[in-house]
Chains A and B, each alone.
Chain A
Amino acid sequence: DTGVSQDPRHKITKRGQNVTFRCDPISEHNRLYWYRQTLGQGPEFLTYFQNEAQLEKSRLLSDRFSAERPKGSFSTLEIQRTEQGDSAMYLCASSPGTAKNIQYFGAGTRLSVL
């Protein structure tokens, strides 16, 4: 069990550029979640995968955001045409999908849009 891994840890980009983040969940965890955390706030839910199926998306996830989880393993979160308001910490969590519903979080990707 190597934990949830996120890459990169930090990303600085210019407004209007596209960025992609990767999350590698704990092996055999079938649930994967993306959250966004802005300064001074708690994490906010973005989207959820059960295996490869994306089962729910928050209204926070505008059309510029897309997430995938091919083959039910790693996941990517892409933001197109970034805006300064997209600056935040993007957190990934995975869960084994049991009744305990314990989510294990990665260290996050911090995005700064200049």
Chain B
Amino acid sequence: DVKVTQSSRYLVKRTGEKVFLECVQDMDHENMFWYRQDPGLGLRLIYFSYDVKMKEKGDIPEGYSVSREKKERFSLILESASTNQTSMYLCATRRTNQPQHFGDGTRLSIL
């Protein structure tokens, strides 16, 4: 079974803080993705990576950055958290030419 682990299930941070969300996978998948999920807006792609140290912008990259120093780990960084970044954040991984598998998400609240 594919296992995608997100470091926190729930997280509360303050406006202006730098926030790190971590995702780890144990299946040696090349591709990793970060999404946010909001009611009425569905899943929106923030960033993805198809290899170590490689990253590509998704549909809504503003206010976010990512880091992939090791194949199994993909980090999402909120440079200066704002209240409109309160959301459910989902990490997904896949082998090339296969469908994505998701972690259980991090519910992030910015106060």
Question: Do A and B originate from a single complex?
Answer: no
